[in-house]
Chains A and B, each alone.
Chain A
Amino acid sequence: ETGVTQSPTHLIKTRGQQVTLRCSSQSGHNTVSWYQQALGQGPQFIFQYYREEENGRGNFPPRFSGLQFPNYSSELNVNALELDDSALYLCASSLPPAGGTNEQFFGPGTRLTVL
């Protein structure tokens, strides 16, 4: 069974640029959630995708957007990068619905640095 994978591992961008982060869900999981973890903080929920549609969103501006593909992999896109976007971005996959006892399995994250 393949776990959750994310790419790239590290990324450096400059302010104003756009970035795309990728996540492959664990085998059999069709729900993907994205979290932002700033340095020294706990992860914060960005949004979740289920059946290729956004299924819940946290307190993040519209320049944070996502996609889910038929194979359940997902992308997180961030436009007009700001310095405060520097963080570890975590992806988690789960069986639907993620509520209840269904566990979210996390990937190793992508470390984004905005200069």
Chain B
Amino acid sequence: AQTVTQSQPEMSVQEAETVTLSCTYDTSESDYYLFWYKQPPSRQMILVIRQEAYKQQNATENRFSVNFQKAAKSFSLKISDSQLGDAAMYFCAYRVGRDDKIIFGKGTRLHILP
């Protein structure tokens, strides 16, 4: 079964500091994609960053970067220089290349402390 596990239900970080959110996944597929989505109180799911499994280089998007460990099936998100606007639920997600459904983890609620 394809599963995504986020072991940290909640995390807090001081503004301007760095925080890492953890995610592990389980799959027997070789062609897949990994995502981190942000869901603020407005409820709209926003794609933060995407990683193709065939790429060894870790994806980065401005202050957001991932640590993709394919053998360990680990996909963590690092947020640098945390800002108040980063406060939200963060979902790790997975999609098999040929499929259209996205499988989400249960989420990590991130609090930013001023």
Which residues of the partner chain A approach B98 to less than 8 Å between Cβ atoms? 99
Q: List the A side residues contacting B104 at CB < 8 Å.
A: 42-44
Residue of A nearest to B91 (CB): A42
Please tell me the number of chain A residues within 8 Å of chain B, measured between CB atoms.
29
Central interface residue in A31, A42, A92, A107, by most chain B CB within 10 Å:
A42
The segment from B39-47, B62-70, B71-79, B80-88 found at the interface with A is B39-47
Q: Complex Cα distance A41/B105, Å?
A: 8
B106–A41 contact, CB under 8 A? Answer: yes
Q: For the complex, is A67 an interface residue (Cβ under 8 Å from B)? A: no
* Interface residue A88 (Cβ < 8 Å from any Cβ of B): yes
Q: Give bound CA distance, A92 to B93, whole Å.
A: 14
Task: Flag if A99 contacts B97 (CB, 8 Å).
Answer: yes
Query: Which residues on B sit within 8 Å (CB–CB) of A53?
Result: none
Q: Which one, A42, A97, A103, contacts B100 given CB within 8 A?
A: A97
The residue that A45 contacts in the complex, of B46, B50, B101, B106, with Cβ under 8 A, is: B101
- For window 48-64 of A, CB contacts with B under 8 Å fall at 48, 55-56, 58
Indicate if B99 sits at the interface (CB-CB under 8 A): yes
Given contacts A42-B91, A109-B44, contact A56 B52 (CB under 8 A): no
Chain B residues packing against A (C-beta within 8 Å)? 4, 33, 42-47, 50, 52, 91, 93, 95-107
